[in-house]
C-alpha cells in the first residue's frame, strides 16, 4: 500500500445487487489533479478486470500506473484541467473489499461466502467514493473492457450523474464466445487441486490454474495478426529438459509463459473468479427490459465509443452495436474504430492510436 492509495469504508454497509450485505466494505482509490470550485471537472475511470486503482503515477507514488500515458499534465485526461478518480473495483484485491478480505461479521476471510458480485455493485460502490469526494455530477465516466460494462451500469442506474461517457473496447453484454472463454478460465482455476473449493492458503494457492487462465487470457487479449508479425514461427534456443518432449519451443510459448508468471501471485484467485463471473452476468437489457430501454435510461450529453478491429474478446461488431444503441437513444455519439493490431489490449499498449481520439473528445493535449 502506497501513500497515493486512499481508502473509504462504507460504515453503513452495502446491500449487493443480487442479494447479501457487506457489513463495512472498503474501497481503495487514487486521484490526480484538483477538483475545481464548481466541482464539475471530475472524471471517473472504471477499470478492466485486473488493474488496481493505480492508473498513473503521482508525487505520492511515482511508480508507473496501468494507464500512465493517458493521465497527466498535457495528456488526454489532463490533470491540469480535470480531477481524475480511479477506484479499485469492489471484489478485487488491491485494497477494496472482495473475497480475499476478512468478513468483519465472522473474522474469517470471505472466500466463497462472498455474495454474488455484479458490475452494478462495482458501479454503485464507486459512486459512493465519488460522492465522498464532494462530486455531485461527473464530467465524464471512462470505462475500458469490463469497466465499460461497469460504466453502462453506472449510467443506467445513476442517470444524470455523468455528462459524458467513454466506452473503450467494451460491450452491452457478454456474448457466448466470451462467456465460454471466461468460464473455461474459471474452470482452470477451480480444477487446480490447490484451489480446494476456495480454501487455499497463501503458500499453496492454485498458481497452475491461474497460469493456464492467464495464458488463455493473453490469447484473447492480443490478436493473431500481431503474433504473426511479432513471432511468426520463431523458436527459442533449446534448453533441453530431457524426458519432456513438450518443453517450450516457439517464441510465442515463451511469451505466454512470462506473462502468466507475472500475473500469478499478484491476483487473488477467488477475486478473479468473482470478477470474471460478474463480466458474464452483466446485461444492459436487465436495466429496463431491453437494450433500447437500458440506453434510454441514461442521460448523457456526449458519448465516445472506441473499438478495435482486431479485438477477439469484445469484437468490433459489439462496438458498432454500442454506438448505434447510444445514437438511437438520442445521446450525441462519436464512434471511432481503430485498426490497431494488438487486439483487445490496444487501449493499454497502443497509446499513439488512442491518445488523439481521447484528446479530441476531452479537448485536451493542446
Q: Which stretch binds a second copy (CB under 8 A): 49-57, 129-137, 161-169, 219-227?
A: 219-227
Q: Tell me if 193 contacts a second copy by CB under 8 A.
A: yes
Residues 94/27, Cβ–Cβ less than 8 Å: no
One of 75, 129, 188, 340 touching a second copy (CB under 8 A):
188
Strands 71-72 and 77-78: parallel
Q: Measured from the CB atom, is 231 or 335 closer to a second copy?
A: 231
Q: How many CB atoms lie within 10 A of CB 4?
A: 20
One of 39, 157, 259, 277 touching a second copy (CB under 8 A):
277
Q: Tell me if 240 contacts a second copy by CB under 8 A.
A: no
Q: Hey, what's the cell of 58?
A: 503521482
Output the smallest distance, CB 176 to a second copy, in A.
4
One of 158, 161, 173, 287 touching a second copy (CB under 8 A):
173
Interface of this chain with a second copy, residues 98 to 137, rule: CB under 8 A: 112, 116
Q: Measured from the CB atom, is 175 or 357 closer to a second copy?
A: 175
Residues 180/219, Cβ–Cβ less than 8 Å: no
Q: Does 145 participate in catalysis according to the annotation?
A: yes
Q: Measured from the CB atom, is 35 or 349 closer to a second copy?
A: 349
Lateral strand order in the sheet of 26-32: 6-9, 26-32, 83-87, 42-46, 138-144, 162-168, 302-308, 332-338
Output the smallest distance, CB 173 to a second copy, in A.
6
Q: Measured from the CB atom, is 74 or 232 closer to a second copy?
A: 232
Binding mask 307-326 for a second copy (x = CB under 8 A): --------x-----------
Interface of this chain with a second copy, residues 249 to 268, rule: CB under 8 A: 249-253, 256
129 SS3 class: helix
Alpha helices in 143-286 (DSSP H): 146-157, 176-190, 207-221, 224-230, 251-263, 269-281
Q: Tell me if 230 contacts a second copy by CB under 8 A.
A: yes
Residues 88/94, Cβ–Cβ less than 8 Å: yes
Q: Which phi and psi angles does 111 have, rounded to 5°?
A: 50, -135
Q: How far apart, in Å, do the first and last CA atoms of the chain sit?
A: 34
Q: Does 311 participate in catalysis according to the annotation?
A: yes
Q: Tell me if 187 contacts a second copy by CB under 8 A.
A: yes
Tell me how many residues contact a second copy (CB under 8 A).
Answer: 49
Q: Which helix (H) or strand (E) holds 290?
A: none
From the list 192, 311, 331, 345, the catalytic residue is 311
Q: Does 317 participate in catalysis according to the annotation?
A: no
CA angle 163, 168, 171 (to 5 degrees): 95
For helices 269-281 and 176-190, angle between their N-to-C axes, nearest 10 degrees: 160
One of 23, 109, 133, 179 touching a second copy (CB under 8 A):
179
Calpha distance 130→303 (Å, rounded): 20
Active site residues: 145, 311, 344
- List of residues contacting a second copy (CB under 8 A): 112, 116, 173-177, 179-181, 183-184, 186-188, 190-191, 193, 197, 208, 212, 215-216, 218-219, 224, 227-228, 230-233, 243-246, 248-253, 256, 273-274, 277, 280, 283, 315
Amino acid at each position: 500500500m502506497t501513500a497515493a492509495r486512499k481508502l473509504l469504508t462504507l460504515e453503513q454497509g452495502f446491500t449487493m445487487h443480487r442479494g447479501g450485505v457487506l457489513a463495512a466494505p472498503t474501497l481503495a482509490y487514487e486521484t490526480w489533479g484538483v477538483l475545481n470550485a464548481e466541482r464539475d471537472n471530475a472524471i471517473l475511470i472504471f477499470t478492466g478486470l485486473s488493474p488496481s486503482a493505480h492508473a498513473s503515477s503521482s508525487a505520492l507514488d511515482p511508480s508507473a500506473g496501468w494507464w500512465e500515458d493517458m493521465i497527466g499534465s498535457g495528456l488526454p485526461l489532463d490533470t491540469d484541467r480535470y480531477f481524475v478518480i480511479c477506484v479499485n473495483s469492489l471484489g478485487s484485491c488491491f485494497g477494496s473489499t472482495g473475497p480475499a478480505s476478512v468478513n468483519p461479521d465472522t473474522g474469517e476471510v470471505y472466500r466463497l461466502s462472498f455474495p454474488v458480485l455484479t458490475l452494478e455493485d462495482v458501479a454503485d460502490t464507486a459512486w459512493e467514493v465519488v460522492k465522498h469526494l464532494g462530486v455531485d455530477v461527473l464530467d465524464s465516466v471512462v470505462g475500458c473492457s469490463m469497466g465499460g460494462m461497469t460504466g453502462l451500469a453506472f449510467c443506467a442506474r445513476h442517470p444524470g450523474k455523468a455528462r459524458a461517457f467513454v466506452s473503450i473496447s467494451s460491450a452491452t453484454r457478454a456474448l457466448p464466445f466470451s462467456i465460454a472463454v471466461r468460464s473455461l478460465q474459471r474452470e482452470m482455476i477451480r480444477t487446480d487441486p490447490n484451489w480446494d473449493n476456495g480454501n487455499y492458503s497463501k503458500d499453496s494457492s492454485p498458481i497452475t490454474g491461474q497460469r493456464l487462465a492467464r495464458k488463455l487470457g493473453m490469447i484473447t487479449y492480443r490478436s493473431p495478426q500481431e503474433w504473426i508479425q511479432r513471432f511468426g514461427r520463431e523458436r527459442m534456443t533449446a534448453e533441453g529438459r530431457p524426458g519432456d518432449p513438450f518443453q517450450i519451443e516457439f517464441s510465442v510459448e515463451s511469451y505466454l509463459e512470462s506473462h502468466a508468471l507475472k500475473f500469478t501471485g499478484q491476483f487473488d484467485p477467488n477475486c478473479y473468479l468473482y470478477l470474471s463471473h460478474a463480466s458474464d452476468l452483466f446485461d444492459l437489457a436487465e436495466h429496463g427490459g431491453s437494450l433500447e430501454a437500458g440506453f434510454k435510461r441514461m442521460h448523457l450529453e456526449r458519448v465516445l465509443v472506441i473499438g478495435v478491429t482486431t479485438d477477439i474478446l469484445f469484437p468490433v461488431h459489439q462496438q458498432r452495436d454500442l454506438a448505434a444503441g447510444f445514437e438511437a437513444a438520442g445521446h450525441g455519439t462519436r464512434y471511432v474504430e481503430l485498426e490497431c493490431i494488438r487486439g483487445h489490449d490496444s487501449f493499454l499498449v497502443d497509446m499513439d492510436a488512442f491518445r488523439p481520439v481521447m484528446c479530441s473528445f476531452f479537448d485536451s493535449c493542446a
